[in-house]
């Protein structure tokens, strides 16, 4: 059941998402908006048009029978991400930037105009929010596209001075999490849920120990210096084939400077490797290999969620209480987590103490997405929503990440949110934390 949202709030979300989209393309020229053909990014001029098309198709056309302002056939031939092959998107007869923005504005105007009354019905409350969150996801993709192509650091109105957060230092140690019963997934009365969160179900969890913070650059550099990329024993067989075929010897965007020193690239800037920031832009294969080298392991998806949202009862056992966010049930703010593009990059792992979980784990939301050991699979009562391809085509073929990154919008993020990418993806904002073997 989706909570009914006021039209004022929905329109505010629509306008805010569109502002972020425009901020992420405003400083780019026509060549940059198209960019080179690349397997894990889209041409930005295509992608911003697709964002508008998504709203138009699933809301205005499918639910309310309206014709596309471009004409249904033309809109489908340009922007349908299922029907239009990825590699063909650079070669489409795309409208120019101003025409694309005019299309985007017309869709936005139509979305706002057709909201009746003062409070949206359940159907509109769900699908409008889903559309906004879809745009939010693409804004994150715009950011990893800009990072991949070494475009300039974007100008975001939400950005803050993060210098203090980048001097917070490291956070060592593990916390012991008691075993017991835990409900993973979204309850049926949740205000909003994605289809892969359906539905909450009780599972048994064994006691485990998990790191208080994500693995840092300095910690990961020890693995690199120890020859971790040259020793097959540490690697999943497919991961070993992957690093050999790609000749990968260190994380993406790192550059060696001699004497085991490194720089890293953040957008178009080359910076000294920040020792206490979480290692970022690493694949599942790399995260798994580090764990094997260190005698550790990745947490399961269940363990990650228990550490993030669980509580202990008065006897120290796992409680039946479950939080929505690591710090409680209040929505994220700039004091809790590095979300919403606040810092325009990662910050030290000791920052954001106010966002600690009940067990003392830090930054389980924001800063960096965290790989888990599990493949992405449906929960027992899964059923697809209107956008059937959102989860179904990725089940069994991807690994689960949790927690969001500095790039993720806080309004769509909560402790139960499930992200998913192939084990070889590294240009997303991905890192990991570890579990001790018990």
pLDDT in tens, 264-302: 999 999 999 999 999 999 999 999 999 999 999 999 999
Q: At what angle do helices 72-79 and 44-55 cross, to 10 degrees?
A: 130
> Could you report the per-residue pLDDT of 316-366, keeping only the tens digit for each?
999 999 999 999 999 999 999 999 999 999 999 999 999 999 999 999 999
Q: In what order do the strands lie in the sheet with 208-211?
A: 174-177, 208-211, 435-436, 296-297
Q: What DSSP element (H or E) covers 281?
A: none
CATH number assigned to the domain covering 7-148: 1.20.120.450
What is the rounded CA–CA span in Å between residue 374 and residue 377? 8
Single pTM value for the model: 0.97
Residue pLDDT, tens place only, 221-234: 999 999 999 999 99
Which alpha helices (H) appear in 24-121, and where do they start and end?
Answer: 30-34, 44-55, 72-79, 97-113
The bridge status of strand 419-421 relative to strand 318-322 is unpaired
Q: Could you tell me which of 384, 380, 213, 230 has the C-alpha nearest to residue 307?
A: 213
Q: What is the DSSP letter of 277?
A: S
The domains of the chain are located at 7-148, 158-438
Contact assessment for residue 373 and residue 297, using Cβ atoms and an 8 Å cutoff: yes
Task: Assess contact for 406 and 343: CB atoms under 8 A.
Answer: yes
Surface-to-core class of residue 246, CB atoms within 10 Å of its CB (0-12 exposed, 13-18 middle, 19+ buried): exposed
Q: Which helix (H) or strand (E) covers residue 304, if one does?
A: helix 301-309
CATH number of 158-438: 3.90.1580.10
Q: Whole-angstrom Cα distance, residue 251 to residue 236?
A: 17
CA distance linking residue 171 with residue 120, whole number of Å: 45
What's the pLDDT band for 244 if we cut at 50, 70, 90? very high
Q: Is the pLDDT of residue 1 over 80?
A: no
Beta bridge partners of 420: 400
pLDDT given at position 423: 98
Mean pLDDT of the chain, nearest integer: 97
CA distance 275 to 220: 9
C-alpha span between 34 and 28 (Å, rounded): 10
DSSP-derived secondary structure for 159-186: ----TTGGGS-----EEEE--EEEEESB
Burial group, residue 48, by CB count within 10 angstroms (0-12, 13-18, 19+): buried
Q: What is the mean pLDDT of residues 146-175?
A: 97
Give me the DSSP letters along 348-404: -TT--GGG--TT----SSSSSEEEEEEE----TT----SSTHHHHTTTTTSEEEES-
Tell whether the model's pLDDT for residue 77 goes beyond 90.
yes
In the chain, pLDDT over 90 holds for what percent of residues? Answer: 98
- Tell me what pLDDT residue 259 has: 85
- Identify how many contiguous H helices and E strands the chain contains and give both numbers: 11, 15
The DSSP bridge pattern shows strands 419-421 and 208-211 to be unpaired
Q: Which of 124, 123, 107 is nearest to 115 (CA)?
A: 124
């Amino acid at each position: 059941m989706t909570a009914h949202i006021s039209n004022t709030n929905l329109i505010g979300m629509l306008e805010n998402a569109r502002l972020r989209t425009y901020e992420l393309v405003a400083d780019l020229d026509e060549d940059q908006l198209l960019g080179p053909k690349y397997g894990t990014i889209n041409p930005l001029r295509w992608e911003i048009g697709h964002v508008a098309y998504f709203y138009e198709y699933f809301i205005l056309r499918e639910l309310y029978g309206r014709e596309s302002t471009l004409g249904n056939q033309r809109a489908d031939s340009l922007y349908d991400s299922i029907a239009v092959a990825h590699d063909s998107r650079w070669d489409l007869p795309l409208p120019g930037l101003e025409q694309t923005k005019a299309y985007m504005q017309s869709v936005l105007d139509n979305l706002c105009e057709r909201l009746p009354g003062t409070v949206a019905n359940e159907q509109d409350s769900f699908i409008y929010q889903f559309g906004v969150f879809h745009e939010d996801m693409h804004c994150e993709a715009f950011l990893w596209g800009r990072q991949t192509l070494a475009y300039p650091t974007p100008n975001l109105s939400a950005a803050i001075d993060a210098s203090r957060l980048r001097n917070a230092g490291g956070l060592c140690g593990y916390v012991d999490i008691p075993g017991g019963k835990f409900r993973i997934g979204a309850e049926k009365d949740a205000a909003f849920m994605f289809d892969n969160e359906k539905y909450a179900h009780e599972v048994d969890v064994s006691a485990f120990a998990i790191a208080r913070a994500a693995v840092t650059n300095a910690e990961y550099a020890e693995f690199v210096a120890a020859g971790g990329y040259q020793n097959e024993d540490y690697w999943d067989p497919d991961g070993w084939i992957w690093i050999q075929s790609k000749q990968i010897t260190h994380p993406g965007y790192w550059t060696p400077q001699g004497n085991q020193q490194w720089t890293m690239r953040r957008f178009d800037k080359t910076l000294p490797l920040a020792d206490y920031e979480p290692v970022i832009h690493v694949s599942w294969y790399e995260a798994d290999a580090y764990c094997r080298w260190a005698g550790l392991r990745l947490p399961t998806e269940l363990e990650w969620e228990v550490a993030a949202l669980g509580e202990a009862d008065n006897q120290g056992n796992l409680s039946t209480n479950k939080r929505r966010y690591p710090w409680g049930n209040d929505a994220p703010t700039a004091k809790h987590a590095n979300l919403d593009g606040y810092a325009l990059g990662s910050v030290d792992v000791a920052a954001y103490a106010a966002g600690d979980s009940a067990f003392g784990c830090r930054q389980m939301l924001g800063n960096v997405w965290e790989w888990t050991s599990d493949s992405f699979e449906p929960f027992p009562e899964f059923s697809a929503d209107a956008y059937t391809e959102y989860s179904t085509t990725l089940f069994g073929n991807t690994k689960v990440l949790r927690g969001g990154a500095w790039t993720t919008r806080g309004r769509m993020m909560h402790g139960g949110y499930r992200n998913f990418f192939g084990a070889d993806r590294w240009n997303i904002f991905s890192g990991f934390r570890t579990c001790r073997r018990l």
